[in-house]
Amino acid sequence: MNDEKISLVENFNRFFSVDLALTPEQKRSVFAIRYRVYCEELKLEPAHEGDQGLEFDEFDDKSLHCLVTHRRTGVPAGCVRLVTTRDNMYDDPLPMEKYCLDSLSIQAAERLNANRHRVCEISRLAVDPLFRRRAGEQETQYGQYGALDCCHRERRAFSLVAVAGFVAGAALTELTGRTDIFAMMNPFLPRLLKRSGILFKRAGADMDYRGIRAPYYTNTQVIHEHMRAELTHLYDTIFRRFESACHETLYLERKTA
């Protein structure tokens, strides 16, 4: 097994934590990352007066949110959400069904409607610009790279923040039984994920929705079968952490009921 790749995952676990965003503070961190990426940097979402530097929408209340945090500084580094549904695509649509339905293939639409309790959408993947700086880029409107005072080994772990977001999303699908996974993605992202063995298949045509995107599909079993060995430890670590958080949350809810 490739020692360099193993060390990269070990570095990530050393320098970053991946948590379910359950508290109001954690969710604010998620929405703040999204604002910096989707509103300020990419300008894919409108920034409204009164947003207070937070980006959120109607789907967040029925979503599970993941937050990647830089351990040493406590700076939020990345996020992703898992959107669920309990009714048909007309009464309780996923984001892609509401805004990108025409791009879906007939087979994808049928799969989405066949088992609503098993489908979900991974969306709003974002990595804060501070954790996407390239060598030689010292300062941007989002902050100074050198201000993080990171060693080379620590910086190498930055490249896993986005992948860890998808790994976290996959762990949530197993925990919740939402094993049919859809996503609207720029076509470059599935190619990037494929390097880690996270395989998505096209589920429709390209469309221009705040940039060129296309629908993709996978399931939890496919992810388990093809995920590269060096990422299985990361998956297991995140899964156990999420499982513990879910059990603790359920315990507290019962105790206060």
Which pLDDT tens digits describe the chain residue by residue (257 residues)?
A: 444 444 678 889 999 999 999 999 999 999 999 999 999 999 998 887 677 899 999 999 999 999 999 999 999 999 999 999 988 888 999 999 999 999 999 999 999 998 899 999 999 999 999 998 544 444 443 344 445 667 778 888 898 999 999 999 999 999 999 999 999 999 899 998 999 999 999 999 999 988 899 999 999 999 999 999 889 999 999 999 999 887 665 444 444 44
Q: What is the pLDDT of residue 151?
A: 76
**What tokens were used for 240?**
């156990």
Q: What is the pLDDT of residue 124?
A: 96
Q: What is the pLDDT of residue 56?
A: 94
Radius of gyration of the chain (CA): 18
Proportion of the chain in helix, strand, coil states, percent, rounded to 5:
50, 20, 30
Q: What does pTM read for this prediction? A: 0.88
The boundaries of the domain holding residue 125 are 3-256
- State the Cα angle at 48 between 131 and 209, rounded to 5°: 70
- CATH number for 192: 3.40.630.30
Q: What is the pLDDT of residue 153?
A: 80
Our count of domains for the chain comes to 1
Q: Where are the alpha helices (DSSP H) in the chain?
A: 3-15, 24-34, 95-99, 106-114, 152-156, 161-176, 188-194, 220-226, 229-256
Q: Which among 161, 153, 166, 162 is positioned nearest to 7, based on CA atoms?
A: 153
Rounded CA-CA distance 41/54 in Å is 13
Rounded CA-CA distance 171/152 in Å is 29
**What tokens were used for 256?**
């206060």
Rounded CA-CA distance 160/146 in Å is 19
